[in-house]
Amino acid sequence: MPKSTLLHWKNTMWGGHVNKFIRYQALFFIGVLIIFVAPTSATEIDKTPSQRALLANAWADFADQIKAMGNVIQQDTVPDNPIDLAEGYRYLLGQLAEHIEVALYRSDLNDPLLRYSISKFRNTAMPSSDGHYVNAQIDDGGSYRLWGKLGTAKGNISFQFYSSVNSLAEANIRDFADADGMFDIQIGGERQSENWVPLPKGAQMIFIREYFSDWQNEHKSEFFFDRLDRVPGGEPLSPEKLVSILEAVEKSYGGQIPYWKMRMDQIRATHKNEVTPPKVMADVGLLANMYGTGWFDLKEDEALLIELEQTDAMYWSIQLGNYWGEALDYVSYIPSITGDQAYLASDGQYWVVIANKNPGVPNWLDTEHHPEGMIFTRFQGVKEGPAYRVHHIKLNELQKLLPADTPKISNEQHNAELRRRQDHMVKRWAP
């Protein structure tokens, strides 16, 4: 075909259609190559928006749960006074921090770490003013090692297994220690040591505690914890894993805040200005403890006077808490007392005074401007708690009820005791 004819044919209508057909075919084959030859790129393009949405929605649900928990503070059963309302929101903050940390540690059970779980701003369910508490998140199918050296705390030194707030089993660490206080315990897995403790089914946490009675002269133990069957290496965080962490916080935070409030409301409704006889709380407490619970509700000119008989308990304490079940600040004030700290009167009894105003006598527990709150007692090493009587009195009646030779406590003496307590807490909470 002559060149001029070929050029003429390309510019005819049919020639134009052929060119378009060729171009469409080329585009079709390029599309097929994108879909079938490079599926990874196409998948990433499809998934990225959905993962963004997954994370954004999970975060929004998490934020909604935090906002909703504020409604707990506004319930009619909450005392209508500034200190309890303010402490309610602080309580939510502290517990949110705790539940977030627990969920993060539970997301990597291959690498358990002991951590402080209770401190000045993270305390719930009336932890002891005298306690040193550490815990680790665990897998009930794992094998672990707990070792270290005992300190000189007079009270119980033990570990306990929990599923959520429910106690499953406990053991006294002193039972495994040698004459120098050294201990080495295998927990869970196939028995490989004489000092072996089985892991109960469903265990999620090991909770270690020790109680100090003589704050001035006792020091804490050393605890170390490791997983024996850990798998080498780790894994990158996926969006799905992060969502599961957020959901775990929502579940535990949204469940435990109302649960503990319910328990405080029950005590408040049934034990106004009285304290129950000590008993074991097997569901949530330590079996080695006998607990008494009560509630103070006092005007500025009133006091509760607790008359306590001598006891053979190796450790005992009385402490105060707020409406939310938090231990009152026992660093800046004195809202708690132990057997070693208490003054024994000449009649052979302990007289403990609960009041907002300083009565200038031994064994005063400061309510720290709280018009009402919890009373909690602990007794260890006895099968039956001692008898005590509670008197609801006017402050100006106090001297008539106390033994005549009860000494006066000056402000200087009171402040010196505060400094001794603070010195101890610096050491107890040291990392």
- Whole-number pLDDT of residue 49: 57
Provide the pLDDT confidence category of residue 48 given band limits of 50, 70 and 90: low
Q: Which tens digits make up the pLDDT trace of 386-417?
A: 989 999 999 999 999 999 999 999 999 999 99
Domain with CATH 2.60.120.1600 in the chain: 263-428
Task: Please state, in angstroms and rounded to a whole number, the distance separating the CA atoms of residues 379 and 130.
Answer: 12
Q: Which tens digits make up the pLDDT trace of 310-350?
A: 999 999 999 999 999 999 999 999 999 999 999 999 999 99
Percent with pLDDT over 90 in the chain: 84
pLDDT for residue 200 is more than 50:
yes
pLDDT for residue 364 is more than 80:
yes
pLDDT for residue 68 is more than 90:
yes
pLDDT for residue 34 is more than 50:
no
Q: Which tens digits make up the pLDDT trace of 206-222?
A: 999 999 999 999 999 99
Provide the pLDDT confidence category of residue 284 given band limits of 50, 70 and 90: confident
pLDDT for residue 43 is more than 80:
no
- Whole-number pLDDT of residue 285: 87
Mean pLDDT of the region 25-46: 41
- Whole-number pLDDT of residue 30: 38
β-pair partners for 372: 297
Give me the CATH code for the 263-428 domain, please.
2.60.120.1600
Q: Is the pTM of this model over 0.75?
A: yes
Mean pLDDT across the chain, nearest whole number?
A: 90
Which residues 6+ apart lie within 8 Å of 337 measured at CB? 317, 318, 319, 352, 363, 365
Mean pLDDT of the region 193-198: 96
Q: Which of 101, 155, 90, 160 is nearest to 124 (CA)?
A: 90
Provide the pLDDT confidence category of residue 282 given band limits of 50, 70 and 90: confident
Mean pLDDT of the region 64-71: 96
- Whole-number pLDDT of residue 431: 84
